[in-house]
Amino acid sequence: MRYWYWTMVVLLSAGLAACGSGASGFAPPPGGSGTKATVRVTVLHALTNPQPLSQVPVLGEGETSPTLTGPDGRATVTVPTGQSARLFLQFPEGSQNIYPLTVPAGQQTVEVTLFADPIAATTTTPGVRIMPTEQAPAGTAEILDPPDGATITCAPPPAVCRFDVHGQASTVLGQPGTPFLVYVSVTPLSPSGGGTFPQFPPARVDPVTGLWQGEAQIGGTGLSEAQPGDMLQIVAIVTSVLLPPGTTTNPLRFSSPVDIPGVVYISRLINLQVGQRRAQSEAAVLLDPPDSECTNVTVTFQWRIDNRRPGVTYCSDLFTNQDLDPFDSRFEHVFHAGQATALRFSFDPRLDDPALFQWDIRVIRCDTIGAACEERDPPCQGQVLQSDVRRLRTSAQAPTCP
């Protein structure tokens, strides 16, 4: 259940540098004092049609080593009582769910049930508080682009090194009224950045597809300029707290992502390297679906705009055609996406099952300050960015297209 949409927060952090790529590195250091409670945990896959998850490491606040769940999804851990504590689920791909709970002083045993995605928890033990709840669940948020091991390019100093990040989250994070927010953490590894620095605003998740995108940066005011060869890591964060903005001279800082207030999810780590810093022109880059993909008649098209200029409006149009070139005068369909970089479209199964399409993206960089893509009189005018062309085979019988 890992699933779109626009602006995002970037967190600059060095706290992960010593953690490696494993999810266990995000857990808090052991410590604390006082009495502890034994917590009997049952881990289930989802709220609907719940199934037990076995061999999932579970860690209680202050513990030094996790316990694996059994075939029934159960494990036993300990947490301190009379204070805020957390339970950690660690998954093979490196992501981590975090469940804040409070156990009253003197309570010796606790029963809790943890749901993996959407992230939620319940308890039958009186006096124990645990979240996220079934009534207000959280979700996961993965980074799709840039991929692990990629080299990022950005403008030369004195400009800040910025790069686009795209991801997919649980659709619950895009629903109106959700108390949870998606941020991204950028961790300078070499050289170390000395902490986690949020940038604002947080990401917005599309409520239908779960896709999101935004612009991340490394370095900036008060920090060292990123140099070619610098190493960094990025993760997606889900938290219940709207972080207060800092200032350019005193940015908001946390030791590591696990120390961000209200955090309930940390994605797997993506390792990146800064490439040669040189100015580049904007470019429209296709992301999904892949070339020649056999897909259902309902398709989510996704793209990105590299090397965006701050304060500039970019308006996108999607072209599809069963001819050779969607951009020629005989194009069959054109769909206005506005400032979005993803568009969900359903082909007509009566006409397009099966069918082979060409598709691409045209982006206009609006020259008029403050222009909106919805304004067609006068229309947005400026430099045209044209993507490459991909093929797309649609069929209601996907993934086995005839």
Q: Judge contact between 214 and 8, C-beta under 8 A.
A: yes
Q: What is the pLDDT of residue 101?
A: 97
Q: What is the pLDDT of residue 24?
A: 34
In angstroms, what CA-CA distances link 58 with 40, 87, 141, 170, 389?
A: 11, 7, 20, 22, 46
Backbone angles phi, psi at 171, to 5 degrees: -65, -20
Q: What is the pLDDT of residue 19?
A: 36
Q: How far apart are CA 86 and CA 105, in angstroms?
A: 15
Which residues lie below 8 Å from residue 20, measured CB to CB, with a gap of 6+? Answer: none
Measuring CA to CA, which residue among 209, 174, 166, 205 is closest to residue 345?
A: 209
pLDDT in tens, the chain (402 residues): 332 222 233 332 333 333 333 333 456 655 445 799 999 999 999 999 999 999 999 999 999 999 999 999 999 999 999 999 999 999 999 999 999 999 999 999 999 999 999 999 999 999 999 999 999 999 999 999 899 999 998 888 877 888 888 899 999 999 999 999 999 888 888 888 777 776 677 888 999 889 887 778 887 665 678 899 999 989 999 999 998 877 767 777 788 899 989 999 999 999 999 998 877 778 888 988 888 777 788 889 999 988 787 778 889 988 888 755 555 545 567 888 888 899 988 877 776 667 788 888 989 888 766 677 875 545 677 888 888 888 888 877 766 666
Q: What is the pLDDT of residue 5?
A: 25
Measuring CA to CA, which residue among 214, 218, 158 is closest to residue 194?
A: 218
Q: 3.30.450, 3.40.190, 2.60.40, 2.40.30: which CATH number matches 10-14+141-274?
A: 2.60.40
Architecture per CATH, 23-130: Sandwich (2.60)
Q: How many Cβ atoms from other residues are within 10 Å of residue 377's Cβ? A: 4
Each residue of 264-308: pLDDT tens digit?
999 999 999 999 887 777 888 898 888 877 778 888 999 998 878
Q: How far apart are CA 194 and CA 54, in angstroms?
A: 37
Q: What is the pLDDT of residue 240?
A: 97
Global pTM reads: 0.69
Give SS3 for 284: strand
What average pLDDT is seen over the chain?
Answer: 82
In angstroms, what CA-CA distances link 26 with 29, 93, 108, 265, 268?
A: 9, 14, 27, 10, 10
What is the DSSP code string of 104-164?
-TT--EEEEEEETTTBEEEE-STT-EESS-SSS-B--EEEEESPTT-EE--PPTTS-EEEE
Each residue of 127-139: pLDDT tens digit?
999 999 999 999 9
Q: Please, where in the chain does CATH 2.60.40.1120 lie? A: 23-130
Q: Which amino acid is at 155?
A: A
Q: 1.10.760.10, 2.70.170.10, 2.60.40.10, 2.40.110.10: which CATH number matches 283-394?
A: 2.60.40.10
Backbone angles phi, psi at 38, to 5 degrees: -85, 125
Q: Judge contact between 123 and 103, C-beta under 8 A.
A: no
Task: Give just the sign of the alpha carbon dihedral 345, 349, 353, 355.
Answer: negative
Q: How many Cβ atoms from other residues are within 10 Å of residue 249's Cβ? A: 7
Q: Judge contact between 115 and 45, C-beta under 8 A.
A: yes
Residue position matching structure tokens 């055609």:
321
Q: Please, where in the chain does CATH 2.60.40.10 lie? A: 283-394
Measuring CA to CA, which residue among 306, 371, 359, 312 is closest to residue 333?
A: 359
In angstroms, what CA-CA distances link 96 with 129, 195, 361?
A: 20, 20, 36
Q: Judge contact between 304 and 285, C-beta under 8 A.
A: yes
Q: How far apart are CA 257 and CA 244, in angstroms?
A: 15
Q: What is the pLDDT of residue 375?
A: 57
